[in-house]
């Protein structure tokens, strides 16, 4: 298998991340060191490439990526030598969870829809819209409001499902094709 020559768009946590960067102005054979920093709102990861002739070989071990949190990260690639530092690339990368990881991969819309449906199912006998105990109050959302929210999130989940089908090469189930014949 040939080693990719560009940064990947995604990495699976627990998999080896490997690519080769050629930087004509900053060859590894002349002691230029290439390093990467990945940053999200909650995490920061750094790693350094090794020299492979004039090229820079990035090889992040599976044991290292195993601890990476899933999410979208901004990355910056920088070279350094004798106190000089230059940025040579930037972009975004998605760290996907390991298949064996216990991760709730549901979208926000799907989570909210399931929560609304759970409330509606449990609400059948509840008649109190608001109550107060010891100065603290709690207000229930009216069933009509919940039904509107449920419909909104059902539509959003349907759009997500259709987009996943299209991405998988399947037809969009929301499209209806019609042929008129004489």
Percent of the chain residues topping a pLDDT of 90: 51
Give dist(CA 115, CA 118) in Å, integer. 5
> Is 50 in contact with 6 (CB distance < 8 Å)?
no
Helix (H) or strand (E) holding 92: strand 84-96
Q: CA dihedral defined by 152, 156, 159, 160, rounded to 10 degrees?
A: -160
Residue 87 confidence (pLDDT)? 97
Residue 26 confidence (pLDDT)? 97
Residue 85 confidence (pLDDT)? 97
Average pLDDT value over all residues in the chain: 87
Average pLDDT of span 128-149: 72
pLDDT surpasses 90 at 172: no
- Using alpha carbons only, give the angle 53, 55, 59 rounded to the nearest 5 degrees: 105
| pTM for the full predicted model | 0.58
Query: Domain 10-96: which topology?
Result: Immunoglobulin-like (2.60.40)
pLDDT tens for each residue of 49-100:
999 999 999 999 999 999 999 889 999 999 999 999 999 999 999 999 887 6
For 58, other C-beta atoms within 10 Å of its C-beta total 22
Q: Where in the chain is the domain with CATH 2.60.40.10?
A: 10-96
Lowest mean pLDDT among 16-25, 47-56, 159-168: 159-168
Residue 134 confidence (pLDDT)? 67
Q: Which residue has the higher pLDDT, 48 or 168?
A: 48
Average pLDDT of span 92-110: 81
């Amino acid at each position: 298998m040939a080693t990719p020559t560009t940064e990947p768009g995604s990495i699976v946590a627990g998999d080896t991340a490997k690519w080769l960067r050629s930087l004509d102005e900053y060859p590894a054979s002349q002691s230029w060191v290439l390093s990467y920093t990945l940053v999200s709102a909650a995490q920061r990861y750094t790693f350094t490439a090794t020299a492979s002739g004039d090229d820079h070989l990035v090889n992040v071990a599976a044991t290292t990526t195993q601890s990476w949190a899933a999410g979208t990260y901004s990355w910056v690639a920088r070279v350094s030598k004798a106190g000089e530092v230059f940025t040579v690339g930037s972009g975004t990368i998605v760290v996907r969870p390991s298949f064996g990881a216990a991760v709730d991969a549901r979208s926000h819309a799907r989570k909210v829809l399931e929560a609304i449906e759970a409330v509606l199912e449990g609400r059948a006998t509840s008649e109190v819209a608001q109550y107060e105990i010891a100065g603290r109050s709690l207000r229930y959302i009216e069933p009509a409001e919940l039904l509107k929210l449920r419909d909104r999130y059902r539509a959003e989940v349907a759009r997500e499902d259709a987009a996943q089908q299209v991405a998988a090469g399947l037809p969009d189930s929301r499209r209806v094709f019609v042929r008129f014949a004489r």
